[in-house]
Chain A
Amino acid sequence: MAIDTAAPASAPETSTTDGRELRMRLWRGDASGGEFVEYRVPAQEGEVVLDVVHRIQATEAPDLAVRWNCKAGKCGSCSAEINGRPRLMCMTRMSALPTEEPITVSPMRAFPVMRDLVTDVSYNYEVAKLIPNFTPGPKPPEGYRMQQVDVERGQEFRKCIECFLCQNVCHVIRDHEENKEHYAGPRFFVRLAELEMHPLDTLDRRAYVRERMGIGYCNITKCCTEVCPEDIHITDNAIIPLKERVVDSRYDPVAWLGRKILSRPDPMSASEAAKHTGAARAAERAAKTKES
């Protein structure tokens, strides 16, 4: 089968070149190093950055690596840094960028580069395995019921397309890589907030969020919110509410006294919550298979 990405330059019939020339500086390289390479391509109307990158791939640089899928801002594959700002390539219009200088497109900085614009985002999947799962109580005879207001609350968090732009921009791991070992990052605070606000869920992840997910590392400087293409108010609606919940369980002496006096249960320990993660379940399954 012929690979048509290496086909010679031919503008699609529907778009028009307007005579201007675009200068694009794309990062080329792999784990061992690399450099910006400048490409010149004619401007066409109505294009997004991903179109131009594809055009370069189709003409001058057939070996250029770039990850993409939907071209509609929905799959979260095409995350990169355009003129130094973390964005989706398929949702960034060329007309919104200044063209006097070359436009730089570089891979996400917080993750190891595999090749060119493609990074290895597996850190995020490792964190995902450590999120204590949704754990509803026993099913009542009439089935689970949720009121509309309770359903709506989590809707914002479920818009996440896992582009990991927020993880990439978060300085806790972007600039201090060693924190990856004990920090979940904004995308997973969104997930944890959704679970902690779920009316049917029965776990208490507050100790876990502090001790294991490292919420204290976030200094609420809001860059995650600034870059989120789904416009999730990550800091205001997920992280700060989680921080406040952690205050309830850990830093508020009056809340502590109240629990003692009213003999309310202590917050669930982090190790208890850890039993409900995907990783724990996988380990359990593995142990069982070994036995049998």
Chain B
Amino acid sequence: MSDTQLLKVDNLSKSFGGVRALHHVSFDLKPGELLGVIGPNGSGKTTLVNLITRFVKPTSGTVWFKGKKISHLPPYKIVRLGVARTFQMVKPFYNLPAFKNMIISLYSPRMKQLAGGRYGDRDAVALDLLEEVGFERDAHVAYKLAGALPQGYLKRLELAKAIALEPDLFILDELFSGLSLAEVASIVPIIEKMRIAGKAIIMIEHRLKELFRIADRVIVMNYGEKIADGTSKDVMESEAVKSAYLGTEAD
């Protein structure tokens, strides 16, 4: 692979018993690129994320990250190389304050690597990170129990936990789903900021309008296969996409 690529997915496939969840999917990602992944329900988007992060073992195919083959590594090692992900279904510790939810991130081996074992006051770091993703410090939102926070804040918390790992690649699985337009609008600038910082981002989304506005490139999944790959404009106009999304775009 050429060294301008950060991630290379090569012929990745996964079957669950008889279900072909992903079928020979390949694509590359450059550093700093924002790649959108769209497709109808059950088209294999989350499976793709799970295969890259190795939460699920590929049936065949290879994934390379920073020139290193990672598709045989356990998930925790992939995280340590600089890949962070968020989940479609957030599972915070509801009985802990939001900032305490950050501790696992802040005690992770990745953190130790980056900080050389010295990280200082983690609570202060947690509060800073949360402020970065829009937990207004004056309103003391970070001190509220996660269980008392609206969905928009829980998604931001999820994002902050990923940011804490200082990854080179973020994989965000349906960060916007379940959020109001206003909440999405408040998260978009955070993602733009991550891009300005040079991070590569893969965004799985059903919210096409918002995604098309910020994505450099979009790939389209249908029945486990990649059916289109190009700029937002190309993809929007492609016939394959229109037919795959026929009737499902109405959200």
Q: Is A bound to B?
A: no
